[in-house]
Amino acid sequence: MQATQDIEQKIADVYKRIQAERGVIQASQRMRQATGNQDVQRTLDRKIREAESSISYFQETLDQLKAKKTQIERRDSGGSAPGAGVRPGDARDPRGQPGRKSRPETRIQASVVLICIIFD
């Protein structure tokens, strides 16, 4: 039961991250429309691509967590779960590279750039 609750918490956290990245995309799109500066537009385009990549990664993680939750629920109810050999840690990043996780430092750097752009 605790394992299911842990996974539900992780699922909620991933949903929050997806929503945050969607917010970054929306804000970047609005800022891009508001400026004619080509350098700023390129920076915002890059930020949008990074956020889309992060969403893709988070969506894959979410799918794996949901599969793991289903597996645990079936195991706990006495059923057999398909894909029992699949581990959530076997996730691939959006480029298909095993073992790579999201790049929070890149998102932080891009966020700093956006903040600098806003206040310039």
Q: Given this model, what pLDDT does residue 120 score?
A: 42
pLDDT at 92: 47
Distance, CA of 97 to CA of 56 (rounded, Å):
13
- Confirm if 23 and 63 have CB atoms less than 8 A apart: no
Which distant-in-sequence residues (6+ apart) come within 8 Å of 28 by Cβ?
44, 47, 48, 51, 114
The pLDDT value recorded for residue 56 is: 96
Closest CA to 37 of 118, 101, 98, 93: 118
Return the H-helix or E-strand segment holding 114: helix 104-119
pLDDT at residue 19, rounded to an integer: 97
Per-residue pLDDT tens, the chain, 120 aa: give them. 788 889 999 999 999 999 999 999 999 999 999 999 999 999 999 999 999 999 999 999 999 999 999 998 898 887 654 554 445 554 444 444 444 455 555 555 555 554 544 444
How confident is the model at residue 80, as a pLDDT? 52
